[in-house]
Amino acid sequence: MSLFRKIFGSSISPSDEEKENQNSNFFPESNISVDEQFIYNFKKNGGKFLYCENAQEVKDQFENILEENDWFESEVLCYDPKLFELLEENRLIYNKPGNPKFLFSSCENLIAEEGSILFSSKQIKQLKPNELPVNIVVLATTSQILAMKSDGLSAIKKKYERDYPTNITAIKYFEKAKEEDFTQYGSSAKNLYLLLLEDL
């Protein structure tokens, strides 16, 4: 049984819930899985996490996001041709948007140690994080979760042997920082939804 099915399964008994609460007091521990570490850190950073077991669930959850934010028939920034079909099904305009409501994108990897999402020029061209829309919807798979940023950079190097991408950027903050939180100085917070598709 998949880790995510265990975490997001519909039937959680009270005793399991109690154990989970006890474990969360000691989070994060060195013996937790990379998947669990990513979920914990990603949610701690303010990201919205939607687990999907199959392509139909991705479509359903994507429609739920559109409905929640009233984004139907709006403009979208998207550079990934593999995602165009999903945009077309929902009558979203992605061809040269003038004022996009959100970015819809894949990513390079998900980094567990900091709960961040690693992008490159393959997904966001040469745009810097502060030039991207405030709202972002990312479609990624469970196999893209890696332990550290260095693993992510190695994976990019391996994936693109010749056509190496530029503008490798990690987005980590998914909600506005409190005024006294100087650790986020210079970063631009994003309202980010992650559609995570099980592929392991």
Please write the tens of the pLDDT for every residue from 1-11.
455 555 555 44
Range 50-66 average pLDDT:
97
Q: In the predicted model, what is the mean pLDDT of residues 152-178?
A: 86
Determine the pLDDT at residue 4. Answer: 54
Whole-number pLDDT of residue 3: 53
- Quick: pLDDT tens for 88-115: 999 999 998 999 999 999 999 999 999 9
CA angle 48, 89, 99 (to 5 degrees): 65
Q: What mean pLDDT, rounded, does the chain reach?
A: 85
Mean pLDDT of 151-177: 88
CATH topology of domain 31-197: Rossmann fold (3.40.50)
Sorted by where each begins, the domain ranges of the chain are 31-197
- Is pLDDT of 143 > 70? yes
Q: What is the mean pLDDT of residues 55-81?
A: 96
16: enclosing H helix or E strand: helix 14-24
Please state the rounded mean pLDDT for residues 151-158.
93
Instruction: Give the helix ranges, DSSP H, for the chain.
Output: 3-8, 14-24, 34-44, 55-69, 84-89, 121-124, 149-159
Please tell me which residue, 68 or 20, carries the higher pLDDT value. 68
Model pLDDT, residue 25: 46
179-188: average pLDDT: 49
Query: Rounded to 5 degrees, what are φ and ψ at 80?
Result: -105, 110
d(Cα 145, Cα 186) in Å, to the nearest integer? 26
φ, ψ at 113 (rounded to 5°) = -60, -30
Please tell me the predicted confidence (pLDDT) of residue 161: 83
Q: With contact defined as beta carbons under 8 Å apart, do 193 and 48 qualify?
A: yes
